């Protein structure tokens, strides 16, 4: 009996709380808006099931206590079984299918041809990002030339002219509204690139180059958190995604190139 | 006649203490041994989780006895992040393998499968003894990892390579400690395989006269399907573990690709794939979730029917649902890998199959509520835990509807939302199943009744406590807080979430403290509890036809015969409101 009231109170509180609060940071592009909508839909559907199922559980406890009489003799009801089996199947599979467009836009569609390409290199506990510079070409790299203290985490080969104007940064800076294609690689163990405001997450796996494309429509600074356990400094593996105006980005790029001279 | 007497000679009770209580081949003793092993492990695992919760909220606190316990990991009494990660790895490993896999299946299954099907013992009693002692050895090797050079491993219970395959260069604990971990898991796999064969053979061969498959209690169905899952799953984990060990000690490259640069050292490996481990691991790892929860579902079904005084609603649907979960459980492992870099098209197939597995789970929930509808519920402690199981199963199951969609997993993967989900459904719900089973079967195992007053207070504190711990974790997940972070000082947005973490830590400390009541209850009941009758709950299954505790050969030389299904409660016209399975009329 006490348990019935406890379950009811908990259910009412949780349903109300999760329906009327939001813990997501505001999204910064169309993908994030679509994501939030799919989340909302799932929240409402599971919320209704949660509410009804827990309330029913509370109800049977409240209503059907032992009063010394015999219980109802029933071994079940096949029509009910078929009904709730098919209802659950339609609802659950339907939800997945409704979310496919979001997954498809991330993974099945190619990034626009004019996307800005940035290489990502993750290592135990730091991020590095490489821009091709004015020539639009990434220079040759060699594992043996990797030298973090000398500012060469990618192992760029100085002898290759295409690499002379490559810009390496520890934060990822992008112009607002521009399609971006990250080519992501990890040097030692698995890492994960996660920006909350983009509603996107992807593992970086040694031996693989994994594409990750997005566009950010709101200028600002957003934290990048490693989201795959990578060792003792995992919790400190932070970078920043900085979304800048076109002009600011160009200015920053000029400064970086000037420093290299 | 000569055959009968030969069996009796073989089943004489041993007289020496060692053969009776330590190297016993009696399934009832082995069941209790497993149960004690799990009890020790669950308190160890819970202790580790409290240390973790403490460190997350007070990362800079100086505690002198930390330094005593871990002179290197907590020099000067301040816990290091690597110590935090090793506690986390050990917490997960101990809980998943030595608690969730051990108590519900090997513990209760050993104790009650032979009794419920009317057998004298398991099919292979000596093999049974070996599987327990191998499990014990596995636990000893795992705990040893704390004491070797570098301490316990920090790669998590999933042990993803390259981190787990590179050796000490990847971090403290990834040398000798990681080797201990792999050896321990390999031993555990061996023990589980022996157990699985034994369970399957016993259920198939040793059912008494009249015990057809469709008259089996749902507990037996759960143990049977779980044994099949163990047989197929642990075989794969064992192979994967051996490959991982070879990568570490024999220079092979099953999981290591070319071009690795660790700590500025170029590694001499090429040709392997880190994703291969994830496929092998989760091919075991997902069925493992059902290995942990199916026996809990079985116990819950059993207890709900007994204390509702009503037949289980839709027995056949329940059987098909258990089999369906078992089958589909092998087809959904990829939903752990949506973000892993595997082919994104496969995510569609895995997600649809994942949602499909929600259907038999929903059937079970509806049938439980159907069982209670029109019932005459007796609110004993074990019934409260079974009801709590249903509530937790609903809550924990529904968050799976978010995570099973690859689109939504783009944000939720590896956040606290996942931690909340699997703790509710696989951790706490399964543990409620164990509590329910303990209160239900303690009279049969030890011949004494447990104290109901202490039991109920313990139940309410635990029920409120676990919801206070795990409900706010969903919020943390929505706020994007990643899991497996030693502290939250580096990130601005996580700093803002610290009050939620603090609340969870206090809730965890209080809930853990409440578990002292359970220990007191066990000791008190064992020592001073009221003597249990043969059938204190007025249940119908075979274990309640014999004395508490049962005689050495279970049925005192008689061969039970079964005439009906296990859930005949409230039958109109019957003399009592329950009819034993052995009742011929």
* Per-residue pLDDT, B264: 83
Angle at alpha carbon of residue B91, lines to B88 and B93, rounded to 5°: 105
* Per-residue pLDDT, A67: 87
User: Does residue B79 register a pLDDT over 90?
Assistant: yes
Q: Choose, out of B321, B343, B482, B578, the residue to mutate when testing the contact with A (most A CBs < 10 Å).
A: B482
- Let me know if residue A75 belongs to a domain: no
What is the average per-residue pLDDT within A68-85?
89
User: Does residue A2 register a pLDDT over 90?
Assistant: no
The CATH H-level superfamily of B23-261+273-545 is: Cytochrome c oxidase-like, subunit I domain (1.20.210.10)
What is the average per-residue pLDDT within B308-315?
96
Q: How many beta-carbon pairs below 8 A join chains A and B?
A: 328
Task: Report residue B433's pLDDT band, with 50, 70 and 90 as the boundaries.
Answer: very high
Name which of B163, B404, B460 is nearest A189 (Cβ-Cβ). B163
Task: Report residue B5's pLDDT band, with 50, 70 and 90 as the boundaries.
Answer: very low
- Measured between beta carbons, the chain A residues lying within 8 angstroms of B357 are none
- Let me know if residue A70 belongs to a domain: no
Please give the full DSSP string across A3-61, using - where no structure is assigned.
Answer: HHHHHHHHHHHHHHHHHH---SPPP-SHHHHHHHHHHHHHHHHHHHHHHHHHHHHHHHH
Report the residue of chain A nearest B162, measured CA to CA. Answer: A189
- Let me know if residue A68 belongs to a domain: no
What is the average per-residue pLDDT within A58-69?
92
CB atoms within 10 A of CB B263: 12
User: Does residue B76 register a pLDDT over 50?
Assistant: yes
Tell me: do A47 and A131 sit in the same domain.
no
- Let me know if residue A154 belongs to a domain: yes
Tell me: do A58 and A184 sit in the same domain.
no
* Per-residue pLDDT, B19: 86
* Per-residue pLDDT, B511: 97
| Cβ <8 Å between B484 and A123 | no
Q: Name, in order, each residue with C-beta under 8 angstroms of B396's C-beta and a sequence gap of 6 or more.
A: B421, B422, B423, B424, B425, B426, B428, B429
Segment 231-250 of chain A within 8 Å of chain B by CB: 231-236, 238
Tell me: do A159 and A256 sit in the same domain.
yes
Residue A221 is inside which H or E element, if any?
Answer: strand A220-226
* Closest by Cα among B578, B579, B566, B104 to B319: B566
Two structure tokens written together for B456: 């109920």
Tell me which DSSP letter residue A228 carries.
S
Tell me: do A93 and A219 sit in the same domain.
no
* Per-residue pLDDT, B13: 80
pLDDT tens column, B197-208: 999 999 999 999
The ipTM estimated for the assembled molecules is: 0.96
Whether the CB-CB separation of B489 and B59 falls below 8 Å is answered with yes
User: Does residue B132 register a pLDDT over 80?
Assistant: yes
* Closest by Cα among B304, B458, B453 to B377: B304
Whether the CB-CB separation of B257 and B272 falls below 8 Å is answered with yes
* Per-residue pLDDT, B585: 81
pLDDT tens column, B459-506: 999 999 999 999 999 999 999 999 999 999 999 999 999 999 999 999
Task: Report residue B2's pLDDT band, with 50, 70 and 90 as the boundaries.
Answer: very low
* Per-residue pLDDT, B1: 35
Tell me: do A120 and A97 sit in the same domain.
no
Task: Report residue A85's pLDDT band, with 50, 70 and 90 as the boundaries.
Answer: confident
Of residues B192 and A87, the one with the higher pLDDT is B192
CA torsion B555→B559→B565→B566, rounded to 10°? 0
Tell me the CATH number at A255. Answer: 2.60.40.420
On whether any CB of chain B is under 8 Å from the CB of A218, the answer is no
Question: Torsions phi, psi of A57, nearest 5?
Answer: -60, -45
Tell me: do A133 and A36 sit in the same domain.
no
pLDDT-above-70 percentage for chain B: 98
Q: Cα Rg for chain B, rounded, in angstroms?
A: 24
* Per-residue pLDDT, B7: 45
- Let me know if residue A152 belongs to a domain: yes
- Burial zone of A143 (CB within 10 Å; 0-12 exposed, 13-18 middle, 19+ buried): middle
Domain boundaries, chain B: 23-261+273-545
* Strand-pair partners of B415: B482
Report the residue of chain A nearest B81, measured CA to CA. Answer: A232
Tell me: do A89 and A141 sit in the same domain.
no
* Per-residue pLDDT, B542: 97
What is the average per-residue pLDDT within A200-219?
96
Q: What is the mean pLDDT of chain B?
A: 95
pLDDT-above-90 percentage for chain B: 94
Q: How far apart are CA B234 and CA B242, in angstroms?
A: 12
* Per-residue pLDDT, B11: 58
Name the residue range of residue A192's domain: 116-260
Report the residue of chain A nearest B376, measured CA to CA. Answer: A66
Whether the CB-CB separation of A206 and A190 falls below 8 Å is answered with yes
pLDDT tens column, A119-154: 999 999 999 999 999 999 999 999 999 998 888 999
Tell me: do A146 and A92 sit in the same domain.
no
Tell me: do A156 and A253 sit in the same domain.
yes
Task: Report residue B14's pLDDT band, with 50, 70 and 90 as the boundaries.
Answer: confident
Residue showing tokens 């973090």: A148
User: Does residue A201 register a pLDDT over 80?
Assistant: yes
Q: Name, in order, each residue with C-beta under 8 angstroms of B401's C-beta and a sequence gap of 6 or more.
A: A42, A45, A46, A92, A95, B355, B358
| Cβ <8 Å between A223 and B493 | yes
Q: How far apart are CA A166 and CA B433, in angstroms?
A: 60
Q: How far apart are CA B441 and CA B445, in angstroms?
A: 6
What is the average per-residue pLDDT within A1-16?
90
pLDDT tens column, B16-67: 888 888 999 999 999 999 999 999 999 999 999 999 999 999 999 999 999 9
On whether any CB of chain B is under 8 Å from the CB of A194, the answer is yes
- Let me know if residue A79 belongs to a domain: no
Question: Torsions phi, psi of A171, nearest 5?
Answer: -115, 155
Q: Give the CA count within 13 Å in the CB-facing half-sphere of B561.
A: 4
Two structure tokens written together for A258: 């000037």
* Closest by Cα among B471, B481, B335 to B414: B481
- Evaluate the CA torsion angle B416, B84, B237, B343 in order and state its sign: positive
**How do B261-262 and B265-266 pair as beta strands?**
antiparallel
- Measured between beta carbons, the chain A residues lying within 8 angstroms of B274 are 190, 205-207
Tell me which DSSP letter residue B21 carries.
I
Say how far residue A110 (Cα) sits from the centre of its chain: 18
Report the residue of chain A nearest B170, measured CA to CA. Answer: A231
pLDDT tens column, B475-487: 999 999 999 999 9
Based on the structure, what is the number of domains in chain A? Answer: 2
| Cβ <8 Å between A93 and B355 | yes
Q: How far apart are CA A237 and CA A234, in angstroms?
A: 5
Tell me: do A32 and A121 sit in the same domain.
no
Q: How far apart are CA B532 and CA A44, in angstroms?
A: 48
Tell me: do A151 and A213 sit in the same domain.
yes
What is the average per-residue pLDDT within A234-252?
97
Two structure tokens written together for B249: 């000690």
Q: Choose, out of A18, A67, A126, A201, the residue to mutate when testing the contact with B (most B CBs < 10 Å).
A: A201
Tell me: do A49 and A147 sit in the same domain.
no
Shortest distance, CA A167 to any CA of chain B (angstroms): 21
* Per-residue pLDDT, B103: 95
Shortest distance, CA B175 to any CA of chain A (angstroms): 13
Q: Name, in order, each residue with C-beta under 8 angstroms of B442's C-beta and a sequence gap of 6 or more.
A: B448, B449, B450, B525
């Amino acid at each position: 009996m006490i348990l019935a009231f406890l379950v009811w109170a908990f259910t009412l509180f949780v349903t109300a709380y999760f329906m009327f609060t939001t813990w997501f940071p505001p999204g910064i592009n169309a993908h994030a808006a679509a994501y939030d909508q799919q989340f909302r839909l799932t929240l409402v559907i599971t919320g209704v099931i949660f509410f009804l199922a827990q309330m029913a559980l509370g109800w049977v406890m409240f209503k059907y206590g032992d009063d010394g009489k015999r219980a109802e003799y029933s071994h079940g009801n096949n029509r009910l079984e078929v009904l709730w089996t098919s209802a659950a199947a339609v609802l659950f599979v339907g939800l997945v299918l409704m979310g496919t467009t979001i997954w498809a836009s991330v993974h099945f569609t190619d990034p626009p041809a004019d996307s800005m390409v940035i290489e990502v290199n993750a290592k135990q506990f730091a991020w590095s990002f490489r821009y091709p510079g004015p020539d639009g070409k990434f220079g040759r790299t060699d594992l043996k030339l990797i030298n973090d203290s000398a500012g060469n985490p990618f192992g760029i080969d100085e002898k290759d002219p295409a690499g002379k104007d490559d810009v390496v940064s520890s934060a990822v800076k992008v112009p607002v509204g521009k399609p971006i294609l990250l080519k992501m690689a990890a040097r030692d163990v698995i890492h994960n690139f996660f920006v909350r405001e983009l509603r996107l997450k992807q593992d970086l796996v040694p031996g693989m180059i994994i594409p990750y494309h997005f566009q950010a429509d709101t200028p600002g600074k957003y934290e990048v958190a490693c989201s795959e356990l990578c060792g003792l400094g995992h919790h400190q593996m932070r970078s920043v995604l900085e979304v800048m105006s076109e002009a600011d980005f160009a200015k920053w790029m000029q400064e970086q190139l000037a420093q290299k001279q | 006649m000569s055959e009968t007497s030969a069996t009796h000679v073989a089943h004489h009770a041993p007289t020496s203490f060692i053969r009776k209580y330590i190297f016993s081949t009696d399934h009832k003793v082995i069941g209790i041994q497993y149960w004690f092993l799990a009890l020790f492990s669950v308190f160890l695992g819970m202790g580790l989780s409290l240390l973790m919760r403490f460190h997350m909220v007070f990362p800079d606190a100086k505690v002198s006895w930390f330094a005593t316990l871990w002179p290197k990991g907590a020099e000067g009494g301040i816990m290091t992040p690597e110590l935090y990660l090793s506690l986390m790895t050990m917490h997960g490993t101990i809980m998943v393998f030595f608690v969730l896999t051990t108590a519900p299946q090997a513990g209760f299954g050993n104790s009650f499968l032979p009794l419920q099907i009317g057998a004298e013992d398991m099919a292979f009693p000596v093999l049974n003894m070996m599987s327990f002692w191998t499990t014990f050895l596995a636990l000893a090797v795992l705990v040893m990892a704390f004491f070797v050079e570098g301490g316990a491993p920090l790669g998590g219970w999933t042990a993803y390579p390259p981190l787990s395959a590179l050796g000490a260069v990847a971090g403290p604990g990834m040398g000798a400690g990681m080797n201990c971990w792999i050896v321990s898991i390999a031993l555990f796999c061996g023990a589980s395989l022996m157990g699985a064969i034994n369970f399957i053979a016993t259920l198939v061969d040793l059912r008494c006269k009249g015990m057809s498959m469709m008259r089996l209690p749902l507990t037996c169905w759960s143990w049977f399907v779980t044994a099949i899952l163990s047989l197929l799953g642990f075989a794969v984990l064992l192979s994967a573990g051996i490959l991982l060990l070879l990568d570490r000690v024999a220079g092979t490259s099953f999981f290591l690709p070319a071009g690795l640069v660790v700590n500025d050292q170029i590694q001499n490996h090429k040709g392997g794939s880190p994703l291969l481990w994830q496929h092998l691991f989760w091919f075991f790892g997902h069925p493992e979730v059902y290995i942990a929860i199916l026996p809990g579902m079985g116990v819950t079904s059993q207890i709900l029917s007994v204390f509702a005084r009503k037949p289980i609603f839709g027995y056949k649907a329940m059987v098909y649902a258990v089999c369906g979960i078992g089958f589909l459980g092998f087809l959904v492992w990829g939903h752990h890998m949506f973000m892993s870099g595997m082919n994104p098209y496969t995510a569609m197939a895995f997600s649809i199959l994942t949602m499909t597995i929600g259907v038999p789970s929903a059937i079970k929930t509806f049938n439980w509520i159907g069982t209670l509808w029109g019932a005459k519920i007796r609110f004993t402690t074990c019934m409260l835990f079974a009801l709590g199981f249903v509530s937790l199963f609903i809550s924990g199951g529904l968050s799976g509807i978010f995570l099973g969609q690859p689109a939504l997993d783009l944000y939720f993967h590896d956040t606290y939302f996942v931690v909340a989900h699997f703790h509710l459904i696989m951790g706490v719900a399964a543990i409620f199943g164990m509590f329910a089973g303990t209160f239900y079967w303690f009279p049969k195992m030890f011949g004494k009744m447990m104290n109901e007053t202490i039991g109920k207070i313990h139940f309410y504190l635990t029920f409120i406590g676990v919801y206070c711990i795990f409900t706010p974790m969903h919020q943390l997940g929505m706020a994007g807080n990643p899991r497996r972070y030693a502290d939250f000082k580096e990130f601005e947005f996580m700093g803002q979430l610290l009050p939620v973490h603090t609340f969870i830590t206090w809730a965890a400390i209080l809930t853990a403290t409440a578990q002292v009541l359970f220990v007191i209850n066990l000791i008190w009941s064992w020592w001073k509890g009221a003597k249990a009758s043969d059938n204190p709950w007025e249940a119908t299954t075979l274990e309640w036809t014999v004395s508490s505790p049962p005689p050495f050969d279970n049925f005192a030389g008689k061969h039970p015969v079964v005439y009906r299904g296990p859930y005949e409660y409230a039958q109109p016209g019957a003399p009592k409101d329950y009819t034993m399975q052995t009742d011929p009329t």
